[in-house]
Amino acid sequence: MTAAQFAALSPLVVLAIAAVAAMMLVPLARLQIVQASAAAGLAVAAALVLLRIGAPAAPMGALFTDDGPARFGIVFACLVSLGALVFLRTGHPAKEAPSLLVLVAIGAATLAGAGHPATLFLGIEILSLSLIALFAFRLTRQGLEAAYKFLVMSGLASSALLLGIALIFAETGALDFAGWGGRGALTAFGTALLLAGLAFKFSLVPFHMWTPDAFEAAPASAATLAGVVSKSAVAIVILRLALTAHLPEPVWSQGLAALGGASVLIGNLLALRQPQLPRMLGYSTIAHSGYIALIIASGTPHAGEAVLFYLAIYAPAMLGALCVSAALGRAPTLPDLHGLMKRRPLEAVALSLSLLSLAGLPAAGGFIAKLFLLRVLIDGSLWVLVGIVVAGSSLGFFYYAKFFTAPFVGHTHDESEPLPQLDRGLLIVCIALIIIFGVAPAGLMNVVAATMAP
């Protein structure tokens, strides 16, 4: 292994060490120490990638790639996991959780760099298995139900994925993405199965069933990992498949577009009548997966940039909303949010701004993400998809608007504890990012453009 290859893989090594260290520390040290070791691992791994900005991609062989999206995916997974680690403490201070959280980050990082079906499968399995444990952590009825649903469906999705890979291999004889192609029936069927397997992890309709349950029952930090970290890694893999593999066309692009369109419409529709904040976020995350899938399906030149941009804007909003949801205790409903502004101004502002961003209204970053989305679709003259996006976002205004005004009206009694300093810091970072991305998006645009540049 050359030095360049080692440098490219070092973030994964650091993460693995951090996961093991956090596990070993469980019987020996206090929770804070365990968390600190996990946090240090995540921060160092992100820093190791950031230090290599501008370095040429290391030749990595077939298994792993070291291109821009992979680096972006690793940094993204580490930073968002770090955010999730901050509010992992609120709610359930279980000592094994930090280690599982780092494992999710490893899975996401592996997935983001996957250039081969083996790494892809490995990444997905590391991700899913750690997530199952995190979902079930509270051992409540709903938690177990969510974990069980995820376990069964994840197993199904993994089998579909494997069978799909096998069928494609049977016809093309290649196991690297670039070698995939061909027009035979086996490849077409394999592609459909591969898409179904990925769509499960990406919570696209009709493979979305686990998402709202997980958001409702799991601790908010686990929901963040499922809804943001794992999703972004899968998005990057799908993007890489779209860019490098020549999968049979009608199945791949139109299949992705169909799944994406269905997710946008159905996710938003199901979110409409949700009175519960985490469940609403669960359905809205299905819709956001749909938007991202539509961007990739468009196949237009700026699609790659648009995906990364969308992910970067989506992350602080989801993180902020879930952090507030965690702070308010188990599954806050709409009436629980009333009068939040009087009791907890920071949380109220963070929640409203996050939802504003998810709704795609300006001054928040979501508006620019929506612009990017519309631009990509209009570039490709995909007017049907534009119509679907317009219909979906219009439905979105209904439920987001209900939630983002709730903190400013009425009054409810509340005896939950005030937020720790660190969580407040996280919320302030989220607010700042949402506003910066919304008001001065040029910086982030340059970053994603540089990331996608060959």
Partner 1 sequence: MALIALILLPAIGGLVAFFVAGKGERERWVTIATFALMLVLLVGVVATGAEGRWYDKVSYPWVPSFGISLDFAIDGLSATMIALAAGLGIISVMASWSEIRTQSGLFHASLCWTVAATVGVFLSFDLLIFAFFWEAMLVPAFTLIAVWGHGDKEGAALKFLIFNAVAGFGLLAASFALAAMADHMTFSAFELAEMKLSTPVQVWMLLGFSLAFMVKLSVPPFHAWLPEAHTLAPTAGSILLAGLLLKTGAYGLFRFAPMLFPDGLAAVAPYGIALGAAGALYGGLVACGQNDAKRLVAYTSIAHMSIVLMGIAAGVHYALAGAAVEMIAHSFSASALFLLIGALYERTHTRDLRQLGGLQQTAPKFAAAFALFCSALLALPGTANFVGEALVIVGIFQVNWVFALLALSTLIVSVIYATRLLKGLVFGLPQPKPPLADMTWREYWPILVMGIGTLIVGLYPQSLLALLEPAIKAALIHTP
**Biggest CA-to-CA distance, the chain:** 65
End-to-end CA separation in angstroms for the chain: 24
Alpha-helical segments (H) within 58-184: 68-86, 97-113, 117-135, 141-172
The smaller minimum CB distance to partner 1, of residues 200 and 367, is found at 367
Distance of alpha carbon 432 from alpha carbon 373, whole angstroms:
23
Query: How far apart (Å, rounded) are the C-alpha atoms in residues 397 and 287?
Result: 13
Instruction: Pull the structure tokens for residue 315.
Output: 């992350």
Write the DSSP assignment of 168-205 as a string of letters: HHHHH---SGGG----SHHHHHHHHHHHHHHHHHTT-T
Region binding partner 1 by CB under 8 A among candidate stretches 134-142, 235-243, 274-282, 439-447: 439-447
x/- contact string, 333-352, with partner 1 (CB under 8 A)?
--------xx----------
Q: Residue from 53, 55, 152, 363 that binds partner 1 (CB under 8 A)?
A: 363
Q: Peptide bond preceding 206: is omega within 30 degrees of 0, i.e. cis?
A: yes
Which of 127-135, 198-206, 320-328, 387-395 is the region at the interface with partner 1 (rule: CB under 8 A)? 387-395
Q: With binding defined as CB under 8 A, does residue 397 bind partner 1?
A: yes
Please choose, out of 137-145, 215-223, 256-264, 435-443, the segment that lies near partner 1 by the rule CB under 8 A: 435-443
Using CA atoms, how far apart are residues 99 and 271, in angstroms rounded to an integer? Answer: 32
Of 53, 178, 272, 409, the residue at the interface with partner 1 (CB under 8 A) is: 409
Q: How many residues bind to partner 1 according to rule CB under 8 A? A: 30
Q: Does 268 bind partner 1 (CB under 8 A)?
A: no
**Interaction of residue 269 with partner 1, rule CB under 8 A:** no
Sole binder of partner 1 in the list 36, 398, 412, 435 (CB under 8 A): 398
- Of the two residues 95 and 343, which places its CB atom closer to partner 1 in the complex? 343
d(CA 316, CA 406): 20
CA distances 350 to 71, 93, 341, 367, 399, Å, are 29, 24, 10, 17, 17
Q: Please state, in angstroms and rounded to a whole number, the distance separating the CA atoms of residues 106 and 102.
A: 6
Binding flag, residue 393, partner 1 (CB under 8 A):
yes
User: DSSP class of residue 409?
Assistant: S
Among 40, 122, 186, 378, binds partner 1 (CB under 8 A): 378
To the nearest 10°, report the CA torsion of 174, 176, 178, 179. Answer: -10
**C-beta of 445: minimal distance to partner 1 in Å?**
5
Tell me which stretch binds partner 1 (CB under 8 A): 126-134, 278-286, 324-332, 361-369.
361-369
Task: For partner 1, give the closer residue by CB, 409 or 422.
Answer: 409
Under rule CB under 8 A, which residues in 176-205 are in contact with partner 1?
A: none
- Between 6 and 397, name the residue whose CB sits nearer to partner 1: 397
Q: According to the binding rule CB under 8 A, does residue 139 interact with partner 1?
A: no
- Which residues are at the interface with partner 1 (CB under 8 A)? 341-342, 356, 361-363, 367-368, 371, 374-375, 378-379, 386, 390, 393-394, 397-398, 401-402, 405, 408-409, 440-442, 445-446, 449
